[in-house]
């Protein structure tokens, strides 16, 4: 039985990855940060908490001793480093904390693996935010695209990405970085704009709210489903040699497109309800993301199952059921 250690197991990707690995017969060790309201921390993985092959341990990215201890105790075959302060907007408000957790946290993970003498394969969660507004001539971002990020979060991820390259070459460690474009899901990805739009539209549909306030409506993103992307993470660590891969759908949609798709599902016109609010604008905007995942698709035979439309349909259906008024639930 293989053993996998996951940082960020209670996040969106961590929960889907845990399901995938448990289904494949792994023993999964998840690292939890100690929170004062612990009962809410594991809501994304509550449905698998009874699995005997899932073990949760307290640890922290900023406490290298706890990481070394867990690696020595469980001797993982694979380590998936997903934890970070990953909210781009918050990274402008808390740049120092974001840098400490997202950048130095990765340093601690890599040092913990190195100092413990572990030969485990390491996956590092990169981000399309690393590219900033750099776009190749054909309109795509890929592994060779220049990285000039436009947020403290993106800067921290570039540090982590380069550090993984350094450790891979300097210490002959098996480290893969997945450069993941926007990947989301209902309920588990509550902090992302797709869920904000889907939930907001349903709230308007049910008469709970009148308007939906968003930031830059012209920003375009390459959105995929987290289920598809965690499968790519696993595939990267099954290879004989480590490498870095862009994981994306190759199709970009604007926030306006997103609103149109969602509100159309509810037979409403998004223009009547959506407001572009200055308070949601970033200090420096990332305008356009569209990833070229040719390398991942050809070398690892990765193919996403979800389309943008099917993902958004899933989100709208989820919120229609989740927010359904009590009077309608019994109908």
Mind telling me the catalytic residues? 127, 129, 153
CA–CA dist 184, 31 (Å, integer): 22
* Contact assessment for residue 87 and residue 130, using Cβ atoms and an 8 Å cutoff: no
Task: Give phi and psi for 135, each to the nearest 5.
Answer: -135, 135
The first and second tokens of residue 40, run together, are 């809410």
Contacts (Cβ under 8 Å, ≥6 apart) of 18 = 6, 9, 28, 30, 45, 48, 54
Q: CB atoms < 10 A from the CB of 73, how many?
A: 11
Pairing type for strands 175-180 and 121-127 reads: parallel
Task: Give the pair of three-digit tokens for residue 41.
Answer: 């921390």
Q: Are 88 and 282 in contact (CB under 8 A)?
A: yes
Rounded Cα–Cα distance for residues 193 and 82 (Å)? 20
The pairing of strands 253-254 and 220-221 is antiparallel
């Amino acid at each position: 039985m293989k053993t996998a250690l996951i940082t960020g197991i209670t996040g969106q990707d961590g929960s889907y990855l845990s399901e995938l690995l448990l289904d494949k017969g792994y023993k999964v060790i998840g690292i939890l940060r100690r929170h004062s309201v612990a009962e809410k921390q594991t809501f994304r993985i509550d449905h698998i908490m009874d699995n005997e092959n899932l073990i949760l341990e307290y640890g922290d990215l900023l406490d290298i001793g706890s990481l070394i201890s867990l690696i020595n105790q469980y001797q993982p075959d694979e380590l998936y480093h997903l934890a970070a302060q990953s909210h781009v907007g918050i990274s402008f408000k808390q740049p120092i904390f974001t840098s400490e957790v997202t950048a130095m946290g990765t340093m601690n993970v890599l040092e913990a693996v190195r100092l413990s003498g572990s030969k485990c394969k390491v996956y590092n969660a990169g981000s399309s935010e690393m590219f900033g507004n750099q776009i190749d001539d054909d309109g795509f971002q890929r592994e060779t695209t220049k990285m000039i990020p436009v947020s403290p979060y993106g800067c921290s991820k570039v540090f982590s990405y380069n550090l993984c390259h350094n450790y891979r070459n300097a210490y002959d460690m098996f480290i893969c970085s997945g450069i993941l474009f926007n990947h989301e899901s209902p309920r588990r990805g509550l902090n992302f704009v797709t869920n904000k739009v889907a939930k907001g539209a349903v709230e308007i549909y049910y008469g709970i709210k009148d308007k939906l306030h968003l930031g830059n409506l012209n920003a375009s993103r390459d959105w995929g489903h987290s289920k598809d992307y965690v499968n790519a993470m696993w595939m990267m660590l099954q290879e004989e040699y480590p490498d870095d891969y862009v994981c994306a759908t190759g199709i970009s949609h604007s926030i306006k497109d997103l609103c149109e798709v969602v509100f159309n599902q509810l037979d409403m016109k998004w223009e009547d309800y959506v407001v572009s609010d200055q308070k949601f604008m970033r200090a420096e905007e990332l305008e356009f993301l569209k990833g070229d995942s040719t390398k991942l698709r050809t070398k690892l035979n990765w193919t996403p199952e979800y389309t943008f439309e099917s993902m958004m349909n899933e989100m709208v259906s989820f919120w229609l059921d989740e927010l359904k008024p009590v009077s309608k639930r019994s109908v």
